[in-house]
Amino acid sequence: MRPITITTGQYGDIHFGELCRIMGDIGYDGLEIACHTHLDAHRFAADSAYRDEIRSTLERNGLKVWALGAHLAGQCVGDQWDPRLDNFAPSDLSGKPEEIRKWAVDEMMAVARAAQMMGVHIVTGFTGSPIWPYWYSFPQTTQQMIDDGFGRIKELWTPIFDVFDECGVKFALEVHPTEIAFDYYSTQKLLETFDHRPTLGINFDPSHLVWQGMDPCLFLRDFADRIYHVHMKDVKVRLDGRAGILGSHIEFGDLRRGWNFVSLGHGDVDFDGIIRELNAMHYEGPLSVEWEDSGMERMFGAKEAYAFTKRTDFEPSTVAFDSALKTE
């Protein structure tokens, strides 16, 4: 069976050692460690005592690592600055767009090196997008403006991917609104922009596809060779005649919204179909719980999500169901 892991970002206020104990006791096989909360990539590369501490803490709690998460730094690489990015970068860089971007590029390279030293081959994350404000084509948006945005992402990320290649690590982009690739066709265009460079793949998260109206199973089937990592996350869509998919600038968890992220099994994602697609494409990597539900206590959610994932995952059959009916 595929290993079951959990992302640590939503538990960033809990000390790493305590979080390992909690998740190990629940039964998780490992962690997808968020570098902005639980791993200092530069320190991991330079400080052997720190490396030993991280490794021994994981081992003591029976946990492994199949992926590191670098979402916030990645966002700062490709975004056009606004004050929200100050929350993702060191405080002394606040209000300094190019210094934030320079820090983010260096951080992503450091994460690749930390992953190599940890024996991890996947880094999940975001790329940011210089053209996300153009998502709705008014004021009028030319194709050249869009192409230039994709070109800018290639320019910014190519040196980062060169370091990833040197380290033997791949980058799995979480296809997600506010990223340069946020749906089916923008993902297709991004892969084409990078000439299908093997360094760049996908961290599959069905929740972001469902509320946009896409079929996650078709997404998996068409991008099967680029699925480097899988997030288990659910979403509930309730377009009740008042609420729409754009969210109305209402915070997550508010029941007036047209959709909300919910704990696994409480939403509209077809996880049975997803497991069947993963089996068909021979995906053997982790199923990583990304727990996000503003309406549920998070430790209850972590336990419930583990149990849901464990009972939902199944191996493919080695025989046809009707093979016993055949005669010689």
Q: Which tokens sit at 264?
A: 């696994």
Structural domain includes residue 222:
yes
pLDDT at 72: 98
Structural domain includes residue 92:
yes
Per-10-residue mean pLDDT, the chain, length 328: 96 98 98 97 97 98 98 98 96 97 98 98 98 95 98 98 98 98 98 98 98 98 98 97 96 97 98 98 98 97 98 90 70
Q: Rounded to two decimals, what is the model's pTM?
A: 0.97
Structural domain includes residue 325:
no
- The C-alpha atoms of residue 24 and residue 4 are separated, in whole angstroms, by 11
Phi, psi angles (nearest 5°) of residue 312: -85, -35
pLDDT at 104: 98
- The C-alpha atoms of residue 8 and residue 112 are separated, in whole angstroms, by 18
- The C-alpha atoms of residue 66 and residue 28 are separated, in whole angstroms, by 12
Structural domain includes residue 323:
no
pLDDT at 295: 96
Whole-number CA gyration radius for the chain: 20
Structural domain includes residue 154:
yes
Structural domain includes residue 134:
yes
Domain containing 138 — which CATH number?
3.20.20.150
pLDDT at 39: 97
- The C-alpha atoms of residue 220 and residue 278 are separated, in whole angstroms, by 8
Beta strands (DSSP E) in 79-156 are 122-125
CB 123 within 8 A of CB 172: yes
The three-state (H, E, C) secondary structure of 4-43, written as one string? EEEECHHHCCCCHHHHHHHHHHHCCCEEEEECCCCCCHHH
- The C-alpha atoms of residue 19 and residue 63 are separated, in whole angstroms, by 11
pLDDT at 318: 83
Beta strands (DSSP E) in the chain are 4-7, 30-34, 64-70, 122-125, 170-174, 200-204, 227-232, 234-237, 259-262, 287-289
Structural domain includes residue 328:
no
195: left (phi over 0), alpha (psi -120 to 50) or beta: left
pLDDT at 306: 98
Q: Give the count of domains, the chain.
A: 1
Q: Which amino acid is at 143?
A: Q
Q: Which domain holds residue 114?
A: 4-316
Per the omega criterion (within 30 degrees of 0), is the bond before 139 cis? yes
Structural domain includes residue 326:
no
